[in-house]
Amino acid sequence: MSEIRLDRIHNKYVLIAPERLHRPSLGHHFTKNRSSFTCPFCDGNEALTPKEVFAMRDNEADSPSWKTRVVPNLFKAVQIELEDISKRDGIFESIPGVGAHEILVDSPSHEIDISYLDKESIENWLRTIIIRTDDLKNDKRLTSLSIFKNYGHNAGATQEHPHTQLLALPIIPRNELVFLERNIKYYHRHGRGIVEDTVYNERIAKTRILDEVGAFVAFCPYASSFPFEVMIAPTKSIASLNKCTRKDVADLALLIKKVFEMLKAQLGRFDYNLFFQISPLNINFQTEKYMNNIDKSYTFTLRITPRIYRLGGFEISTEMAINSIIPEECAKLLRGD
């Protein structure tokens, strides 16, 4: 059974998920020869996964011929059924791992990663994330939703078929909580959230901007943690992906497509993590003081971090990144100047 434990020394939560030990190992499942195993995420193999929670399709559930498909994670880090009651044992404190862990299979194709998908398929992927976000939000116990992709060995992927993970939890992770606190103070002082102000200043500086489509801009952040790191953000405050209009989604899909084209031109096929940072799903004891102004103070972001190098002891012990390439140089190379 999974639980969320409080690390008092570092004041952060840790998800203890013993079930995840049984995940297929990288060496075992990553093979060039597809006939040697049957991929549960490929079209036609729907019987190999738990029943789908959602699919973009015109036909019956759990049958072939879909565009995107969402299933509960077999090796789930959290379980939705558990009671959300915190436990205390002396100084030690934990919350059972209440939540949802879902796998979104990006497309039926085993080989085609998001960086090779067409614009329509990226739009379907975004719309699927929005539909699942709206649904998970209905469970009032859930407050944070992490939406992320691990692609390739260096990024921690254990399943080759391109997919996205949605992990909803009853608590806000510490770094996000610290951000919410700093952000609301900043908003009260400046009338703009930190992300909105950063985007505003990046657009004035121009040197790190890659491209803009509609209300979205892509840039290499001033203090990027990773070489060729790219952030995509709205130029107006939109707190969460599910607050985007249909046109916003189409524009965002096109910008994602353009950014991956730039990255591929420089890096070839590369390992990466991709994650969305969105506003909290619901009000709870941690988030109530931030939720009043959330639509004005919070701007969601999408970050793509190519994983060219592995992290070392310095990064883990200090939480400080060492980036060997200047972000302005990365932007220049990506733009093809």
Interacting residues toward Zn ion by CB under 5 A? 39, 41-42, 110, 161
Contact, 142 vs 281, CB < 8 A?
A: yes
φ and ψ of 229, to 5 deg:
-65, 140
Nearer to Zn ion, 27 or 90 (CB): 27
Tell me whether residue 32 or residue 246 sits nearer to Zn ion (CB atom).
32
Least distance from C-beta 102 to Zn ion, angstroms?
A: 17
- Residue whose C-alpha is closest to residue 52's, from 75, 76, 72, 81: 72
Closest distance to Zn ion from the beta carbon of 47 (Å): 14
Identity of the residue, 110 or 119, whose beta carbon is nearer to Zn ion in the bound complex: 110
- The residue of the chain with the least Cβ separation from Zn ion equals 39
CA distance 305 to 234: 18
Compute the C-alpha angle 307/311/312, nearest 5°: 160
What values do phi and psi take at 219, rounded to 5? -150, 160
Q: How far is the CB of 66 from Zn ion (least distance, A)?
A: 13
Q: Exposed, middle or buried, 58 (CB in 10 Å: 0-12/13-18/19+)?
A: exposed
Q: Which residues of 287-316 are buried (b: 16+ CB within 10 A; e: fewer)?
A: beebbeebeebbbbbbbbbbbeeeeeeeee
Supply the minimum distance, in Å, between the C-beta of residue 131 and Zn ion. 22
The least CB distance from residue 42 to Zn ion, in Å, is 3
Q: Which is nearer to Zn ion, 73 or 183 (by Cβ)?
A: 73
Structure-token pair, residue 179: 């951000």
CB of 30 to Zn ion, least distance (A): 12
DSSP string, 76-91: -S-BTTS----EEETT
**Closest to Zn ion by CB, 127 or 161:** 161
Please identify, using beta-carbon distances, which residue of 30 and 148 lies nearer to Zn ion. 30
